[in-house]
Amino acid sequence: MEERATEVRDLLATGTAALAEMLTVGPPELEALLVADDDWLEAPREGERPYPPGLPYLTGAVRPPALVLPETLSSAFRPRTSATWPLVVWHELAHAFLLQRSVPRTPAWLRELLPQALAAAVARRTGLLDGHLARIDAKPGFTVRGLKGPAGPGEQMSFQNLLLRLGAAALEEFGEGFLRRLAHALWDEDEAVGEERAEELLADSLGPGGREWLERRPEF
């Protein structure tokens, strides 16, 4: 898997430089493990139970914490373009950046929006984003705030794609600055963030006109 590992190393280098600049924080201490499919059960994780194959994750079960990446990405990841794998790597890397400070409990849509928007921002800088967005299926039948309770893999992917689209639209409209404002606003919260507060934090981070813009977005 040497070629694959070289690619991962390059993606992590690009992502780390871009995310550190966007968030104005240093990079997290992190090890990346590219795991062959046959070795998946032996990958470090919390608890005994093996994780579903093909899904990348972060774990604090080893020192330094590890970003565990599968040799074969789960077929649940859609659409498949040249941006699919980079977006997955940058999404997990963005979680690792955000977890350097304590992050309060938030609604699922806000917790996942920031890594998706950060991954979108890195892909946008590298010119990979537009072609990928164009291949996302039109309408999942819910909004990012409307998905309630645990979702199956298909719904989960539609949810992440809606967040990616919302993040990309926000980048076009407001630029990259809202990513830093939103991350720092979350780090500054010391209590669990409810639905209303979550919407307020996002709208304020976007800047003037943010609330009105959000209310017009079909994904929201």
CB-nearer residue toward Zn ion: 56 or 210: 56
CB-nearer residue toward Zn ion: 81 or 156: 156
CB-nearer residue toward Zn ion: 55 or 214: 55
CB-nearer residue toward Zn ion: 112 or 219: 112
Q: How far apart are CA 176 and CA 2, in angstroms?
A: 34
What is the nearest approach in angstroms of Zn ion to the Cβ of residue 208?
A: 29
Residues 121-150 that bind Zn ion (CB under 5 A): none
What is the nearest approach in angstroms of Zn ion to the Cβ of residue 54?
A: 15
In this structure, what token pair is assigned to residue 199? Answer: 């919407």
Half-sphere exposure of 156 (CA within 13 A, CB side): 10
Under DSSP, the state recorded for 27 is P
What is the nearest approach in angstroms of Zn ion to the Cβ of residue 161?
A: 13
What is the nearest approach in angstroms of Zn ion to the Cβ of residue 98?
A: 10
Helices (H), the chain: 2-23, 84-98, 108-125, 129-134, 153-174, 177-188, 195-206, 210-216
CB-nearer residue toward Zn ion: 112 or 199: 112
Residues 105-124 that bind Zn ion (CB under 5 A): 112
Cα–Cα distances in Å, from 172 out to 44, 179, 206?
38, 12, 11
Residues 66-95 that bind Zn ion (CB under 5 A): none
The contacts of residue 31 (CB under 8 Å, 6+ apart) are 62, 64, 65, 66, 67
Residues 25-44 that bind Zn ion (CB under 5 A): none
For Zn ion (CB under 5 A), the number of binding residues is 1
What is the nearest approach in angstroms of Zn ion to the Cβ of residue 207?
A: 25
Nearest to 25 by CA among 34, 33, 16, 12: 16
Under DSSP, the state recorded for 72 is S
CB-nearer residue toward Zn ion: 96 or 136: 96
What is the nearest approach in angstroms of Zn ion to the Cβ of residue 112?
A: 5
Binding site for Zn ion (CB under 5 A): 112
